[in-house]
């Protein structure tokens, strides 16, 4: 896939979106291959990370437990000052550090949170299809052993080291495309 072509296609879906004019790096999440690409068009570089999207596949409806598809933006970055493994509840650090990364029965949110906001009205923005009100995040997990498998309940899970690196390299309003 040519990243320039994907970028142009994305721009056509969100005309007038101000952050795209800067040609910032953007995130492309491939749910079939269970990977996330952080793409810098100007430098023709891409960093790829394994992820876990929803076990139930892609879908935008509220309470579907599916990962929403389409064009999003990073609306909030949460946890930048926290140590690796910090467990979050309601987007607040709990004070507990998870240092065990094979907890299959618990869907803990750890290390960093990138809270996503849909940009396509009627697709992933508004009504019962709103990614932001569904609390869809890219986040670290205490279930690292299953990264690379579709096992989440809607969010995009990453290894803790990877989500920290990604967090440090993206900005609020950067684009996120999920397919």
Q: Are strands 45-52 and 156-158 parallel, antiparallel or unpaired?
A: antiparallel
**What's the pLDDT tens digit per position in 76-108?**
999 999 999 999 999 999 999 997 776 777 779
- Let me know if residue 7 belongs to a domain: no
Which CATH number belongs to the domain containing residue 36 in this structure?
2.40.440.10
**What's the pLDDT tens digit per position in 41-84?**
777 678 999 999 999 999 999 999 999 999 999 999 999 999 99
- Let me know if residue 3 belongs to a domain: no
Q: H or E element: which one contains 3?
A: helix 3-13
- Let me know if residue 36 belongs to a domain: yes
Q: Is the pLDDT of residue 166 over 80?
A: yes
Q: In which domain, by residue range, is 119 found?
A: 26-178
- Let me know if residue 9 belongs to a domain: no
- Give the total number of structural domains in the chain: 1
Q: Strand (E) positions, the chain?
A: 26-30, 35-40, 45-52, 70-78, 86-89, 92-97, 109-118, 137-141, 156-158, 175-178
Percent share of the chain, pLDDT over 90: 76
> What is the DSSP track for 59-91?
--STTS--BPPEEEEEEEEE-TTSPTTEEEETT
Q: Please tell me the predicted confidence (pLDDT) of residue 18.
A: 59
Q: Is the pLDDT of residue 22 over 70?
A: no
- Let me know if residue 126 belongs to a domain: yes
């Amino acid at each position: 896939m040519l990243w320039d072509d994907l970028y142009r296609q994305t721009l056509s879906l969100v005309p007038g979106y101000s952050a795209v004019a800067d040609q910032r790096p953007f995130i492309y999440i491939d749910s079939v291959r269970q990977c996330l690409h952080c793409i810098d068009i100007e430098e023709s570089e891409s960093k790829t990370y394994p992820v876990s999207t929803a076990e139930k596949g892609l879908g935008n409806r509220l309470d579907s437990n599916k990962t929403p598809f389409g064009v999003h933006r990073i609306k909030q970055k949460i946890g930048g000052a926290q140590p690796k493994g910090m467990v979050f509840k309601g987007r607040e650090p709990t004070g507990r550090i998870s240092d065990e990364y094979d907890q299959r029965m618990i869907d803990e949110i750890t290390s960093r949170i990138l809270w996503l906001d849909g940009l396509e009205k009627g697709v992933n923005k508004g009504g019962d299809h709103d990614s932001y009100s569904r609390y869809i995040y890219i986040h670290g997990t205490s279930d690292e052993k299953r990264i690379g498998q579709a096992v989440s309940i809607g969010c995009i899970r990453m290894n803790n080291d990877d989500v920290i690196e990604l967090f440090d390299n993206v900005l609020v309003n950067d684009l996120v495309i999920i397919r």
